[in-house]
Amino acid sequence: MVVLGCEREKLLESRFFSRPFGEFWAAPKPGLTERQTRHMKSLEQHRSDIVEIGRRVYRLGYVAAYDGNISIRLEDGNILCTPSAISKGYMSEGDLVIVDADGKMVSGVRKVSSEIAMHLLIYKLRPDVHSVVHAHPPCATGYAAAGMSLNKALVAEVVMTFGCIPLAPYGTTGTPELTEAIRPFVPNYDGILLANHGVVTYGSDVYQAHAKMETVEHFARISLTTRILGKEVLLTSDDVSKLLVAREKYGITAPVKISDACPRVQPGEPEGTITLTKEELVDIIQAALERLKHHND
């Protein structure tokens, strides 16, 4: 079947979205900053946005049953968030709750999520962040369960956006252990793997936070593919430096911490290093054994 023009757009809308497709990707109104555009939204619009993102993470298979939570920091400093014990794919605007900066209930009829403290810590440490998404995307969560961070410079776009995605130590869900586990990483990273748990990402609005969750899972799949293929060709330090310069061109202002371990790059070959194929190495060893045999004779 061939779908063209507006018919294709209608198909996309009916399959994935509850509102017009173009509405989610429209550029900010001329003359307005991103912050001004965000603050123009009403509480009802923020509620609708969270419900939409809940449907997206559910349809993508990033959550199951009652997994995950989503929040938005409102202009008055309160936090609009998903409640406890509800499927993110079947929420309504009226299911959401509002808490203050300390996690105390302001309004709502449902119980607030036990993981709200993780969201509150991120908002406290990152004034630039206005939305947090926590989910359990299968491949990225697999890395977290295996105790492996996504810290290799494999994909240019990921290095430019995240630097890398570190792994926070395990902390029991809904306890101070979890918030303390992520505390060292929040100031310098926009996505964190939670050991034996899942992933948390955050951004200037709920759509950016969700996009970063998609990027983490997509990168995890790419990384897994290179491991299955048995070969990883990492970017060099020079490559990474150029990407960091390019960040400014694309207007990426989120903090990124670059160290020897994050992202890991292709080490430069020491002076005098010789690279051999397996066959060449076997030939050298066999020749050496022949010379040793003749010497002993």
User: Tens digits of per-residue pLDDT, 81-135?
Assistant: 999 999 999 999 999 999 999 999 999 999 999 999 999 999 999 999 999 999 9
End-to-end CA distance of the chain: 79
Instruction: Specify the higher pLDDT residue, 67 or 23.
Output: 67
Query: Quick one: average pLDDT of 143-159?
Result: 96
Instruction: Specify the higher pLDDT residue, 241 or 169.
Output: 169
Mean pLDDT of the chain: 85
- For residue 274, name the pLDDT band (cuts at 50, 70, 90): low
**Would you say residue 73 has pLDDT above 80?**
yes
Query: Quick one: average pLDDT of 277-297?
Result: 78
CA-to-CA distance for 181 and 121, rounded, in angstroms?
11
* 150 phi/psi in degrees, rounded to 5: -100, 75
Bridge partners, 112 (sequence order) = 83
Q: For the purposes of burial, counting CB atoms within 10 Å of the CB of 103, is it exposed (0-12), middle (13-18) or buried (19 or more)?
A: middle
**Would you say residue 29 has pLDDT above 50?**
no
The answer to whether 70 and 95 are in contact (CB under 8 A) is: no
Instruction: Specify the higher pLDDT residue, 4 or 162.
Output: 162
| Backbone conformation region of residue 104, classed left if phi is above 0, alpha if psi is from -120 to 50, else beta | beta
State residue 279's pLDDT score: 80
Tens digit of pLDDT for each residue in 182-203? Answer: 999 999 999 999 999 999 999 9
Q: For the purposes of burial, counting CB atoms within 10 Å of the CB of 18, is it exposed (0-12), middle (13-18) or buried (19 or more)?
A: exposed
| Amino acid identity at 109 | V
